[in-house]
Amino acid sequence: MLDENLTVEEPQQEAAAEAEPEKNWEEEAHKFQDLYLRCAAETENMRRRLQKEKEEQARFAAEKTVRGLLPVLDNLRLALSYVREDSPAEALSLAEGVQMTLKGFEGVMADNGLKPVAAERGQVFDPNFHEAMGQMPDAELPAGTISQEIQRGYTLHDRLVRPAKVLVAMAPAS
């Protein structure tokens, strides 16, 4: 009888011993699968972050060049401001050429993300986009509004490149 019990118990012990390692292997497999999924997610997040940084770098790589070209825009506008309606025909023809050049130049700059900062007369002064060059007594405008734009400001892809230089209205001395 003792031999029968031993033979009967041995297969049960072997089955229990086989079941236990399978359970451990299954837990290990789940653990490694979870680790793999976490690593894959982290890799994907890093790839997205690097792609975003690369796009940001590309968008703003031209900022230094744009800053250098802004005085050219200013000078073209200044040249046009000196032309009068009663100027000779040659001057008006030259002004038309300068106007077309300015329009083309502004178009290229706009296509690359450059936008002028709004600084119209009567607009509320915003220190985030405007630089006050001084105050000007103006009875027509409320104090703290823009009286005159001295130099146009610009943003490049919504980042301020140069603030608009303005004169701010103040109440006239009575």
Local structure of 117: helix, strand or coil: coil
Task: Compute the chain's Rg from CA coordinates.
Answer: 36
174 shares a domain with 134: yes
Instruction: Tell me the mean pLDDT per 10 residues along the chain, length 174.
Output: 52 56 77 95 96 87 89 93 90 93 94 93 94 92 93 93 95 78
pLDDT number for residue 59: 79
Report how many domains make up the chain: 3
The CA-based diameter of the chain, rounded to the nearest angstrom, is 130
165 shares a domain with 123: yes
55 shares a domain with 1: yes
Sheet containing 164-170: order of strands: 130-137, 164-170, 146-151
pLDDT number for residue 118: 93
pLDDT number for residue 1: 47
Which domain range does residue 93 map to? 62-112
Is residue 141 within 8 A of residue 123, CB to CB? The reply is no
pLDDT number for residue 114: 93
84 shares a domain with 43: no
pLDDT number for residue 14: 58
pLDDT number for residue 58: 82
CA 31 to chain CA mean position, Å: 41
pLDDT number for residue 50: 95
In angstroms, the CA 43 to CA 36 distance is: 10
Give the pairing of strands 130-137 and 164-170.
parallel
